[in-house]
Amino acid sequence: MKAVAYTHCHPVTHEDALEDIVVRDPSEPRGHDLLVEVRAVSVNPVDAKQRAGADPAGEPRILGFDAAGVIVARGPDAHIFGNGEEVFYAGAINRPGSNAQFQLVDERIVGRKPRTLGFAEAASMPLTAITAWEALFDRLRIARGAAGGALLVIGGAGGVGSMAIQLARRLTKLTVVTTASRPETRAWCEELGAHHVLDHSGDLAAQAKSLGLGFPWIFSATQTVKHWRAICEMVAPQGAVCAIDDFMSIDIGRLKSKAASFHWEAMFARAIYGTPDLIAQHHLLNELADLVDAGTIRHAMKRHLGRIVAANLLEGHALVESGAMIGKAVAEGWD
């Protein structure tokens, strides 16, 4: 089968940063696995971080942590779907990724593809939607239908922020505040439903104070370390902060006087550790599909990269690494 892989860590400008290869088809699915014919994939920050920092020492490694496709075979314990069904999912970081014509994936982290979306649009959604959903409802423990408070999403124009704004607006009655700094990113956040957009190139705490807002919940999707002092100032007493970006240390003690809590969101945790609630991702993706088909939630695809080949996926990596990406970039189909 055709696939896109990397063999050594290279900068995004290197000619061999990603390569078009041919590898053996996956084995017959076992257990709860599905064999999916991949029709479209999207590029996420985790792809670029793995390519740049996790060297496979010459062995081809296939990335890709978003896909939409068609089931062609099932393992003996896979009973949720049937062959020929259209699905979307984010996969698992400890297994070969979706940048291949066929992929094995556990059915318990797979959802039905929204009927109203094509494969490209559907592929833009799973990882960011799962991350935002888990951050809001599992980590920050915001109740569905919650009212009378405010949520701050730092980094609203990216893939995860785009989903967090929508989920919070559609599934709660909170005041949803986000951050952006450019006219086009501010407009995107407002289009998705944010009540207020703060400029994260300025003094966030002062802007929040001018609105008369404190935040029982803060979801930081990017640059948590840069904004940490402001986060600790803005979080409400007994509030909660959740982050997804990578850093080794912060001054967690700044939260103590407010009895505020800090939470990590890592959407691959359930799949990596085979948690008893693994199937929760199947359920949330199905509910997401229902919300999309009802016109309640929209996809975040903003860039179609063309076919699934190394050069096009590398363009997506460059967009992610630029830090100026709005929404998601998607590749679709094979040459």
Question: Which tens digit of pLDDT belongs to each residue from 76-107?
Answer: 999 999 999 999 999 999 999 999 999 999 99
Q: Which of 127, 158, 136 is nearest to 221 (CA)?
A: 158
- What is the domain range of residue 8? 2-125+269-332
Q: Are residues 184 and 90 both part of a single domain?
A: no
Angstrom distances, CA of residue 4 to CA of 63, 93, 314: 8, 16, 10
Q: Which of 111, 97, 94, 51 is nearest to 285 (CA)?
A: 111
CA–CA distance, 111 with 122 (Å, rounded to integer): 11
Q: Per DSSP, what are the bridge partners of residue 196? A: 177
Q: Per DSSP, what are the bridge partners of residue 62? A: 5
Q: Are residues 278 and 199 both part of a single domain?
A: no
Q: State the CATH number of the domain containing residue 49.
A: 3.90.180.10
Q: Count Cβ atoms below 10 Å from residue 176 Cβ, excluding itself.
A: 25
51-74 average pLDDT score: 96
Q: Are residues 118 and 28 both part of a single domain?
A: yes
Three-state DSSP string of 26-52: CCCCCCCEEEEEEEEEEECHHHHHHHH
CA–CA distance, 184 with 76 (Å, rounded to integer): 49
Q: Count Cβ atoms below 10 Å from residue 235 Cβ, excluding itself.
A: 23
Q: Are residues 121 and 135 both part of a single domain?
A: no
Q: Are residues 193 and 292 both part of a single domain?
A: no
Q: Are residues 322 and 254 both part of a single domain?
A: no
Q: Are residues 143 and 166 both part of a single domain?
A: yes
Per-residue pLDDT tens for 235-271?
999 999 999 999 988 999 999 999 999 999 999 999 9
Q: Is it the case that residue 325 has pLDDT exceeding 90?
A: no
Q: At 22, which amino acid appears? A: V
150-162 average pLDDT score: 95
Q: Are residues 139 and 239 both part of a single domain?
A: yes
Between CA 209 and CA 89, with CA 155 as vertex, the angle to 5 degrees is 140
Q: State the CATH number of the domain containing residue 207.
A: 3.40.50.720
Contact 192, 125 (CB under 8 A): no
> Is 248 buried (19+), middle (13-18) or exposed (0-12) by CB count in 10 A?
exposed
Per-residue pLDDT tens for 283-294?
999 999 999 999
Q: Is it the case that residue 313 has pLDDT exceeding 90?
A: yes
Structural domain total, the chain: 2
* 67-106 as b/e: b if 16+ CB within 10 A: bbbbbebbbeebebbeeebbbbbbbbbebbbbbbbbbbbb
CA–CA distance, 196 with 189 (Å, rounded to integer): 9
What pLDDT sits at residue 178? Answer: 98
Does residue 222 sit in helix, strand or coil?
Answer: coil
Q: Is it the case that residue 302 has pLDDT exceeding 90?
A: yes
What pLDDT sits at residue 180? Answer: 94
Mean pLDDT of the chain: 96
Model's pTM, two decimal places?
A: 0.96
Tracing tokens 């970006």 back to the chain, one arrives at: 245
CA–CA distance, 40 with 126 (Å, rounded to integer): 12
What pLDDT sits at residue 335? Answer: 87
What pLDDT sits at residue 287? Answer: 98
List, in sequence order, the alpha helices (H) in 159-203. Answer: 159-171, 183-192
Q: Are residues 179 and 213 both part of a single domain?
A: yes
What pLDDT sits at residue 174? Answer: 97
Which of 236, 264, 292 is at the close of a domain?
A: 264
Instruction: Characterise 212 by phi-psi region: left (phi > 0), alpha (psi -120 to 50), beta (else).
Output: left
Tracing tokens 């007493």 back to the chain, one arrives at: 237
Q: Is it the case that residue 323 has pLDDT exceeding 90?
A: no
Q: Are residues 132 and 254 both part of a single domain?
A: yes
Q: Which two tokens stand for residue 83?
A: 């062959």
Q: Give the chain's end-to-end CA distance (angstroms, integer).
A: 12
Q: Is it the case that residue 324 has pLDDT exceeding 90?
A: no
Q: Are residues 15 and 82 both part of a single domain?
A: yes
Per-residue pLDDT tens for 223-238?
999 999 999 999 999 9
Which of 218, 247, 264 is at the close of a domain?
A: 264
What pLDDT sits at residue 60? Answer: 96
Which of 216, 235, 264 is at the close of a domain?
A: 264
List, in sequence order, the alpha helices (H) in 239-309. Answer: 269-273, 280-293
Does residue 256 sit in helix, strand or coil?
Answer: helix
Considering only the C-alpha atoms of the chain, give the largest distance between any 2 of them, rounded to a whole number of Å: 59
